[in-house]
């Protein structure tokens, strides 16, 4: 499957990117990457990324496309995202390891307490995490 992404705009972003956080922030802001994250099933995105990463990337367009799919996967708010990033998403090429590490670092759980009005002496503790859910990578 070849998703329709803003390839020219993303190539421009990639060309001027000098850090992984810059690339992430600007790819996250792209409407085509946001569309993929919001509308495409995660299994389809993961399968597309596996296909792309299984072959040799020979052009900037293919590389930018791979980054777009990867970041769209990371924008998904699903359990499969964590599984993907810890297994199939461990790509040792260019900025993929840095993006992966940023994701893992930001996904460290934080305790969130919910106070039930019926039982205020027994707060409910839930693990929460944030990563790509904000506009900032840092």
Predicted local confidence at residue 135, as pLDDT: 39
CB-CB contact of 68 with 30 (8 Å): yes
CB-CB contact of 74 with 81 (8 Å): yes
Q: How confident is the model at residue 120 (pLDDT cuts 50, 70, 90)?
A: low
Predicted local confidence at residue 51, as pLDDT: 92
Could you report the per-residue pLDDT of 83-97, keeping only the tens digit for each?
Answer: 888 776 567 678 888
Could you report the per-residue pLDDT of 39-71, keeping only the tens digit for each?
Answer: 999 999 999 999 988 888 899 999 999 999 999
As a whole number, the mean pLDDT across the chain is: 79
Beta strands 124-128 and 110-114 are antiparallel
């Amino acid at each position: 499957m070849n998703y329709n992404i803003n390839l020219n705009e993303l190539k421009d972003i990639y060309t001027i990117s000098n850090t992984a956080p810059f690339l992430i922030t600007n790819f996250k802001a792209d409407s085509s990457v946001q569309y993929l994250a919001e509308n495409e099933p995660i299994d389809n995105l993961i399968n597309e990324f596996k296909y792309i990463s299984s072959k040799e990337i020979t052009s900037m367009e293919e590389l930018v496309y791979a980054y777009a799919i990867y970041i769209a996967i990371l924008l998904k708010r699903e359990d499969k995202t964590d599984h993907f990033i810890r297994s199939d998403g461990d790509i040792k090429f260019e900025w993929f390891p840095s993006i992966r590490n940023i994701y893992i670092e930001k996904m460290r759980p934080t305790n969130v307490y919910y106070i039930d009005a019926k039982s205020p002496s027994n707060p409910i503790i839930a693990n929460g995490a944030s990563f790509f859910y904000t506009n900032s990578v840092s």
